[in-house]
Amino acid sequence: MIVYDSFMATKTITLELDAYERLKAAKRTPRESFSEVVRRLPIPGYTFTARDLLNMREERGPFLSDEDLASIDAINRLDRPPDIP
């Protein structure tokens, strides 16, 4: 008998209490996981893709808020091509 079990790999991290509270406060719903929160937070070096924009549209409707647009602009400012010597 062969049994296949698919699962996501996990990592355990340690956060100071204030960082945990900030992460918890960033959750949009009680059911949203910390992984989902981290995936949607702008992180320097992260490239904002068209798929990300489509996901935002599916989640929030066809119109983006001023906050959404500001977040996209902030990510785009961080996403620069590497300097070529």
Mean pLDDT of 67-82: 73
In angstroms, the first-to-last Cα distance of the chain is 58
- Quote the pTM value: 0.44
For position 49, what pLDDT does the model report? 78
Closest-CA residue to 36 (of 45, 44, 28):
28
Alpha carbons 76 and 23: distance in angstroms, whole number: 23
Q: How do residues 3-57 score in pLDDT, each as one tens digit?
A: 655 667 888 999 999 989 988 988 888 999 998 888 887 766 667 778 888 887 8
For position 9, what pLDDT does the model report? 81
For position 85, what pLDDT does the model report? 44
Confidence of residue 58 (pLDDT cuts 50, 70, 90): confident
